[in-house]
Structure 1
Amino acid sequence: MTTLASPRAADTRPARTHRRPRRRTAAPYVFLAPALTLFALFLALPIGYALYLSFRTVEVKGLGLGAGARTEVWAGFDNYTRALDDPEFLASVGRVGLYGLLLVPTMLGLALLFALLLDARRTRAKGFSRVSIFLPYAVPAVIASLLWGFLYLPRVSPFYFLFDKVGWDAPQILSSQLVVFAIANIGLWGGVGFNMIVIYTALKAIPSELYEAARLDGASELVVALRIKVPIVLPSLVLTFLFSMIATLQVFAEPMTLRPLTNTISTTWSPLMKVYRDAFTRDDIYSAAATSVVIALATFALSYLFLRVVQDGRAFSQESR
């Protein structure tokens, strides 16, 4: 006797699944539109215009009077050649280099020290200490420069008054030999707090089991800090070093604010001050544009080389696995 199988049981072919076509929505582009618009108007467009001006110059005919006496012409790389051959620009680069050598290692060292102290078990009043260290970063650079500038002036500074009462000879911090230390101190006072918060946040992300295992093995707080905490937060140190290096190359507010208080700071003390002088004092926007492009390219090149060196080392070994 034969049994007839049902058509559904006999059909062993897999059923076809009909996938609905994905509908493209414009919602992501709507949310990105304000940011892209602001980026194009206030960053990309000014950069492109500065790059355009860096290849232009003004040709003056006769006395430069009358219509058509001053015409804008193509200059090629002449503005870049003049910027790189300018001794004032090279001197400003040297001063900023010395400023960075003084500021960046000291600032990151203090930021790491404060972050480790705040992360220690026996530290008290962590909230108050954290806010107190970070608070100077909230003060604008111009206001901080004015405050420190009056503290540097012998006639109004309370420190010089105390030194005079004690009979000590206080150093002239705004002298030509020490003015770079005065500017670096302002950057140090304002930058330690930000870098400390970045490093402290990375420390709080470390699993507590690592600390417990190290303490069970008899490791002290110093050994835990040097052998566990510092190696793990090394990528954060690299990040803060990169930000500090970029900020160092773009130093402007501190020396520009201190300049009316002393004659030891020239109008070309930093590269950005030279750009400001050429553009708004000498009315040479073409040379200023070329110098700004050189500064931007140097910042990009140094950042890229630094990241390449770091990635080839051990700082991002965990992320590359």
Structure 2
Amino acid sequence: MVLFTLFLALPIGYAFYLSLRTVKVSGLGLGKGARTEVWAGLDNYARALSSPDFVASVGRVAVYGLVLVPTMLGLALLFALLLDSRRTRATGFSRTSIFLPYAVPAVIASLLWGFLYLPRVSPFYYVFDRLGWEVPDILAPGLVTFGIANIGLWGGVGFNMVVIYTALKAIPTELYEAARLDGASEVATALRIKIPIVMPSLILTFLFSMIATLQVFAEPMTLRPLTNTISTTWSPLMLVYRDAFTRGDIYSAAATSVVIAVATFALSFGFLRLVQGRAFSQENN
């Protein structure tokens, strides 16, 4: 409780306190007492929610999530089902190979993929050029979102696959034996037994992926020096970083942070309320 209070509750409370304050500048803002902290009420929240940069960043992250989350969870489920199949060989090696990208820090992964995206240094673009193929620039304005989503996909599939695969290994083997006696194929067993039973794990991974999407920061921030198509406000957290550390407006940054936190909680809570009756019905019974 002490650690929770010191390192979570107090910072959250202080951020909320800062979001209700602002700085009043007198004269040129020079000298002692020229800048004083005053009560701002909800002005910082109104300014944050009406900011075109914030609205645009939310739109970009929404597109990013629509591209990333379904693809990542679909691949994670596919790999988990393949690893759980009786016909799969070298399961340990395959599981480690798929999970290994998750162990790479996001900044390192972003640098790695960033240089692979640059046409002048990427070996892939060199091979494509030798083959005479016209390949678009991944860091172009219309494709940069997919490039950032690819980095999240590369690093996130392994973690979600392990969560789903662990749930699959907990399924009693008697269910598989009964399905085989009834003549069910591998595909039918996966669709009618495996996927319904691991549905709580799928919901958990979707929830984690949604939260990570709303908090995307490292990938676009690392790629930004490599291209002009990623602005300083590409994502909501990048907007917070700009306001706090570039403009020095910690009050507006705190308000935007609180808005992001409330939106994350609301979406997570709403999603769980929506699916808990259908997905966790087996556990409740």
Give the TM-score category using the shorter length.
over 0.9
Distance between the aligned counterparts of 1:267 and 1:90, measured in 2?
A: 14
Report the equivalent of 1:7: none
Determine whether 1:277 maps to 2:239. Answer: no
**One-letter amino acid matched to 1:244:** S
After superposition, where does 1:83-122 map in structure 2 within 5 Å? 83-122=48-87
Distance between the aligned counterparts of 1:220 and 1:47, measured in 2?
A: 52
Distance between the aligned counterparts of 1:262 and 1:146, measured in 2?
A: 12
**One-letter amino acid matched to 2:259:** V
**One-letter amino acid matched to 2:34:** A
After superposition, where does 1:221-240 map in structure 2 within 5 Å? 221-240=186-205
Distance between the aligned counterparts of 1:183 and 1:233, measured in 2?
A: 29
Please give the per-residue CA displacement for 1:91-118, whole angstroms capped at 9, x wherever unaligned.
0000000000000000000000000000
Q: Which runs of 5+ in 1 are unaligned?
A: 1-35
Determine whether 1:268 maps to 2:233. Answer: yes
Please give the per-residue CA displacement for 1:110-136, whole angstroms capped at 9, x wherever unaligned.
000000000000100000000000000
Determine whether 1:50 maps to 2:20. Answer: no
**One-letter amino acid matched to 1:288:** A
**One-letter amino acid matched to 1:76:** G
Percent identical pairs in the alignment equals 83
SS in 2 for 1:110: helix
Report the equivalent of 2:37: 72
Determine whether 1:318 maps to 2:270. Answer: no
**One-letter amino acid matched to 2:199:** L
Determine whether 1:259 maps to 2:259. Answer: no
- What is the aligned residue count? 285
Determine whether 1:194 maps to 2:162. Answer: no
Could you tell me which of 284, 287, 303 is aligned with 2:252?
A: 287
Distance between the aligned counterparts of 2:176 and 2:131, measured in 1?
A: 49
1:277 Cα offset (Å): 0.1
Distance between the aligned counterparts of 1:264 and 1:38, measured in 2?
A: 41
Distance between the aligned counterparts of 2:4 and 2:78, measured in 1?
A: 37
Please give the per-residue CA displacement for 1:71-101, whole angstroms capped at 9, x wherever unaligned.
0000000000000000000000000000000
After superposition, where does 1:146-165 map in structure 2 within 5 Å? 146-165=111-130
Moved over 4 A (4+): none
1:213 Cα offset (Å): 0.3
RCO comparison, higher one (Cα < 8 Å, 6+): 2
Report the equivalent of 1:30: none
Give the number of the structure whose residues are more often helix, by fraction.
2
